[in-house]
Structure 1
């Protein structure tokens, strides 16, 4: 009630000092608002303000003006004013209810929430809009609401429901033969397939839409430009940045014909991003300048900020860190955090990345609070920048911690992509079953129209099918019996493995648990002179137990064939260079001489899971560091041998005996158990490495090193050489 009273008071107070609008002003405003093509929204918003302050409008007309002006404010990215206008509309509709306009209120509110990244609020509003438009039988707006609801559900990864709503949006558009609505539904369908990682289907839908548009006698340049813009987005996800540039250029040319400088600037901004991905810094800078000038012409502060921040991103890519910081800060000042928090955080991550090179302390202050507030992609950049900033300040432990967190998040994203692909297959299966059901119904209708002879044939077929079914039923049970026998055999093997594993694990846990118990008793009875040191010992022992448990879990996955690898084709030489860079913080030590020799040619390719190979490199590097006396030497070599790539890790003294050398890959085996426990070793690292290399169809072995220590040698097959 108080909110309604305040809004009504504002309207009445402002109306007292404003000239009453002419009676025909509303008619003119309504005609201009609903006119097709480019609209002068600034002028329309000015007229709307005059009408709202006027005393001449009826409740129905005031409802219309509040709704239309809220929509125009959203389109002009004036999000705070749009929310205020929607609050006015909500209060007004409580006094003068209108089912259709209530639907439009929820539709604009959902659109605003979607732009602000509030998907939960957007879903609520679009669901309400669907219900209101169904009640008012406004099929056109119903298609809009279904389409935008599908978009929100896609962001929630509820793809089956999203596809269901997009089909309803297309059906509604076809029902009233509204071509542009149908095209809009196709665009959203393509976007859903994009979010679902089905880029080929998204491309098919957009190309289908483009062909339909070109066949129309009167094609809307606005919608044609939008189609090219969407195509560019799909090409970008497919990694075809040249095709994306071509589509964006066509979109820009169409916007230029319409003289829509705001959308021209948006196209140029995305062109700059594509040039940046292609490492074409001059072209990216030129496109960003064009975008900035266009946004300045239309005085769009929000987009001006984006353009300036993008120019800063380009400077960052070019290594001009001081200029990058200035430009990104200037742009961020124009991008309201409350308008688009995700975009604001994205550019803050670039600002922190630039600061990490010149003012690492400021970078740490800026980025640390953002770690838990951003999505995974931005979080990876923030964690990497924090790692670099701490490294700049010689805080190597923190640098390594953040680098490991970045690696874990990258691994998490890979797992998400794999899950999305599995969900895509499931969705395709469900859609296929729906198609089969439809085909079955159609076949049933055709069968009902057949004559008596056909029925006789069907009856005979049914008898044959029944006979076959009985035969298959018998074979099924026979096969099931054999399967059960095989399962029993495998179960016995699993039980034996489990018993052996439990025996090994209990042996490995006994000593650290005994130490924990003794130290806890010492603390309990005040038998220790330095409690703080005792707590540190307890913490180290607990860390060791955590490491052991994590390694056991990973080996268990490998034993049950649940350790999955994501293979990709990579250039071999650069792959091993990247793996060495990744372990840089681990092997950097003033007391160790690190020699790295990469003799691979640039033409060689290998199929591998880079994250798992990174794990192998980490384990081998840590072993060499831990078991090499200081000062010492570590030598890493990579070379081609026939159809394989060979990588060796060698370290200097101390070495191991020939007997121990043959047992290094045995689970829970350690040459010097006391030393291994002090270093936090679980005795499973080399076993995990062996499993990973075997899954890559390679081999691993241990030898004596000429440097006096141990040589670990593993091989990987070159691409297209496995038999």
Structure 2
């Protein structure tokens, strides 16, 4: 044991001697070598803050006393403050920055020092969820930073965007982080670009633009992998996992959050570790895995309490409250949610506060405390910056509470407000999709115009070269001019044809968009008109039975919800935002399960539903959830549209070419001219198969999009049974 102690002491002396020997030439080295050494420490800070802090503490032994006139000493202190903040040593970091600020009067040679210290103090305040202090310090830093220090100015903007995002001011945060990106893009600072891309992705995620969010997170992740920045990789994995969670892709989300947690544990930042535990808890809760959710939630809460970050602790407690609600422990849920609300208000965390208040309202409704729920709802509705979706949820809960108290007149008014909010939400979504379509068309037009200009330039260059080669040759020159003239004529003609074709395509695209908007407006108008009549009847006490009136309203609201959901899903396919989760699936078992589920429904109309197969192997790689959606749509349509005592047959065939699933039903059928149109959005057939059964009119269009996403097709024909035969074909995908 003693020999081991001597060995350790000897090793420490040797390390110190080596540092001194390395420092002697460094003191006489030029500024470029010193800057290189500091850059290496900064890079190490992002990859491994623990190791960096150890290196800085070893180098600090070279200075017996503070040397504020030394640039190397000052930069070491800055890196030390950053490392302590990252590792959660907040009290040490705060004291360290106060001491560093006291040396500012003798740092006249470092023009960036005041701004840099203010930025570090602001970042520490933001870590502790003191947003007001953080914003004040950031404004001071922005006023102090010299113009030539571009990287430092961009860092200040990045922290400012974080604070604005924290306050739910997403549009302002988006503009600020874009300004930061414009500063570092010309100097090709990859480390900062990756960090700023990640921040922009989070902002787009909160704004609901998941496709843009995923694009910028993937950009950030690619750069972080090139730089081998473990903390950056963890941040990107965490945020991509959050997008998968929003898309209800829980297995992928779980995988990303688990990997992020492992990296966070290796790096040691307690806040990041707690956040990863919180996200894992949310995903396990959504998967119904309560023990795992509770375990991760408790670990996240313990770390958040130890760090003293009230906002993070409030968020962690809101997750625990949701778990208690799922378990039916409403008293525990309410106590936990109230603690979370107090912490969120103290931290001025608006997004977390809104989330917690919704949880509290849900608990009071479950406990039949309708007066308390109404009081909370009315108070929250007066708050600023309440989103349309959040407001619609509050109106819905308000109507539920008023109905339970028998205040039907006011309940009807709340339902009207709910319908108005949902309609506005759909209108905003429609405007966003129309703008995206317009931007895509404009981008294609500009791209094609650029190609035409490039072709013309290439043609002009070729003409000039031909003229040089043929100079002095009269007959050959004449022939050359004729050939060039003919070529130019044909080229111009082709150009004109191409422009006309492009204009036709753009006009067709806009026509389709306008037709879709008109069809959607028509589809929404019918249930809204019925809702309005029922609401007015109840409002003027014409409806004899208020309970039946509410049942009618709920049915129409469900119809509207289904329509909006189908429109949104169809738009996701158009924008390539829907990702298939392909796995080897036993198709025979899948179809048998679906047929068994539909047997009770078919029995209500004395209809027969049979399944047959002609296969050697039933395993096929596809997205089982999406194919289930297709078969559900087909069997639902067949049940509704086929006459009583009719029959429906489901057939599965699989061979070397691929997979074929067909559904055939009996009378009535569809006219020949309608067979090719039934897959169009919102298309309604004339005749007996056009009755309204509460569908959105998008079911078959979505089926076609799912088939095409699998590389297959879906078609309709007349059935030998007297109805319609619909065939889904998916070819085998080539192996990579």
TM-score by length of 2: 0.54
User: Match for residue 432 of structure 1?
Assistant: 444
Between 462-471 and 257-266, report the one with greater CA deviation: 462-471
Deviation per residue, 1:474-521 (Å, 9 max, x gap): 999xx9xxxxxxxxxxxxxxxxxxxxxxxxxxxxxxxxxxxxxxxxxx
**Whole-angstrom distance in 1 between the partners of 2:449 and 2:413:** 54
Q: Is the 8 A contact 1:311 1:327 kept in 2?
A: yes
Query: How many angstroms apart in 2 are the aligned matches of 1:432 and 1:261?
Result: 47
**Is the aligned partner of 1:24 residue 2:68?**
yes
Equivalent residue, structure 1, for 2:239 = 230
Aligned to 2:489: 463
1:456–1:368 distance in 2 versus 1, CA, 3 Å: farther
Matched, 1:181 2:181: no
Equivalent residue number for residue 98 of structure 2: 49
**Alpha-carbon separation, structure 2, partners of 1:248 and 1:412:** 34
What is the rounded CA distance, in whole Å, between the counterparts of 1:566 and 1:126 in structure 2? 32
Match of 2:262 in 1: 253
CA distance in 2, matches of 1:38, 1:102: 20
2:418 is the alignment partner of 1:409: no
| Matching of residue 375 in structure 1 with residue 424 in structure 2 | no
Q: Matched residues in 2 for 1:471 and 1:428: separation?
A: 22
- 1:113 corresponds to 2:164: yes
Tell me if 1:73 matches 2:125: yes
1:212-361 to 2 correspondences below 5 Å: 213-214=224-225, 216=226, 219-336=228-345, 339-358=348-367, 359-361=369-371
- Distance (Å, rounded) in 1 between the aligned partners of 2:194 and 2:348: 28
Find the aligned partners of 2:443 and 2:319 in 1 and give their Cα distance: 41
Map 1:601-680 to 2 at 5 A: 607=633, 642=647
Match of 2:466 in 1: 452
Distance of 1:69 and 1:83 partners within structure 2:
11
Secondary structure in 2 aligned to 1:336? Answer: helix
CA distance in 1, matches of 2:83, 2:688: 62
Residue in 1 that maps onto 2:510: none
Contact residue 158 and residue 196 of structure 2 kept, 8 A: no
In structure 2, the residue matched to 1:674 is none
- 8 Å contact from structure 1 (residues 187, 206) kept in 2: yes
Q: Which residue of 2 aligns with 1:566?
A: 567
1:316-365 Cα deviation digits (max 9, x unpaired)? 23333222111110111111366321321121111111112222211111
Q: Which structure 2 residues correspond to residues 446-595 of structure 1 after superposition, within 5 A?
A: 446-450=458-462, 451-452=465-466, 458-465=484-491, 566=567
Contact in 2 for aligned 1:700/1:715 (Cα 8 Å): no
Q: Which shows bigger deviation, 298-307 or 387-396?
A: 387-396
Sort the Cα spacing of 1:102 and 1:179 in 2 relative to 1 into closer, same or farther, 3 A: closer
Q: 1:193, 1:199 within 8 Å by CA — same for their partners in 2?
A: yes
CA distance 1:121–1:37, change in 2 (3 Å):
closer
**1:440-499 deviation per Cα after TM superposition (whole angstroms, max 9, x unaligned):** 4544444444221798655323223556789999999xx9xxxxxxxxxxxxxxxxxxxx
CA distance in 1, matches of 2:202, 2:358: 26
- SS at 2:345's partner residue? coil
The CA deviation at 1:257 is: 0.9
1:421 correspondence with 2:422:
no
| Change in 2 beyond 3 A, CA 1:401/1:179 | same
Distance in 1 between residues matched to 2:455 and 2:496, nearest whole Å: 25
**Cα deviation digits, residues 155-193 of structure 1 (max 9, x gap):** xxxxxxxxxxxxx57xx54x5443323434554675687
**How many residues are treated as equivalent by the alignment?**
487
Partner-residue secondary structure (3-state), 1:268: helix
CA distance in 2, matches of 1:304, 1:337: 11
Shift of 1:271: 1.4
SS state at 1:334 partner: helix
In 2, Cα distance between equivalents of 1:233 and 1:185:
18
Q: For the residues of structure 2 that align with 1:207 and 1:104, how far apart are their CA atoms?
A: 21
Offset of 1:242 from its aligned partner? 1.0
User: Contact 2:409/2:539 (CA < 8 Å) preserved in 1?
Assistant: no
Q: Structure 1's 318 and 25: CA in aligned 2 closer, same or farther, altered over 3 A?
A: farther
Aligned mate of 1:390, from 398, 402, 416: 402
1:301 and 1:436 mapped to 2: Cα distance? 54
Measure, in 2, the Cα distance between the counterparts of 1:58 and 1:354.
57
User: For residues 192 and 24 of structure 1, do their structure 2 counterparts lie closer, same or farther at Cα, with a shift above 3 Å needed?
Assistant: closer
* Inter-partner Cα distance in structure 2 for 1:82 and 1:442: 51
Aligned to 1:518: none
3-state SS in 2 of match to 1:112: helix
TM-aligned CA distance change 1:123 to 1:272, over 3 Å: closer
Q: Determine the C-alpha separation between the residues in 2 that align with 1:390 and 1:350.
A: 19
Q: Deviations over 1:38-97 (max 9, x none)?
A: 44362232222234456744564334322332233224432132134345557768xx99
For residue 552 of structure 2, what is the aligned residue in structure 1? none
Q: Give, in whole Å, the separation in 2 of the partners of 1:109 and 1:336.
A: 21
Q: For the structure 1 residues 193 and 109, does the alpha-carbon distance in structure 2 shift closer, same or farther, using more than 3 Å as the test?
A: closer
Q: Distance in 1 between matches of 2:297 and 2:408?
A: 37
1:584 maps to none
User: C-alpha separation between the residues in 1 aligned to 2:605 and 2:199?
Assistant: 51
Q: Distance in 2 between matches of 1:457 and 1:36?
A: 74
Q: State the Cα RMSD in Å.
A: 5.5
Give, in whole Å, the separation in 2 of the partners of 1:55 and 1:211.
39
Match of 2:28 in 1: none
Q: Distance in 1 between matches of 2:83 and 2:645?
A: 63
- Normalised TM-score (structure 1): 0.54
From the superposition, tell whether residues 193 and 431 of structure 1 become closer, same or farther in structure 2 (CA, over 3 Å): farther
Which secondary structure does the structure 1 equivalent of 2:343 belong to? coil
Give the secondary structure class of the aligned counterpart of 1:279. Answer: coil
Give, in whole Å, the separation in 1 of the partners of 2:389 and 2:168. Answer: 16
- The CA deviation string for residues 215-253 of structure 1, in whole angstroms up to 9 with x for no partner, is x4x511001112211221232233211111111110111
> Where in structure 2 are the equivalents of 1:96-111 lying within 5 Å?
108-111=159-162
Unaligned runs of 5+ in 1: 1-20, 131-144, 147-167, 480-535, 542-553, 555-562, 577-595, 614-637, 645-690, 703-711
Measure the CA separation in 2 of the matches of 1:194 and 1:274.
17
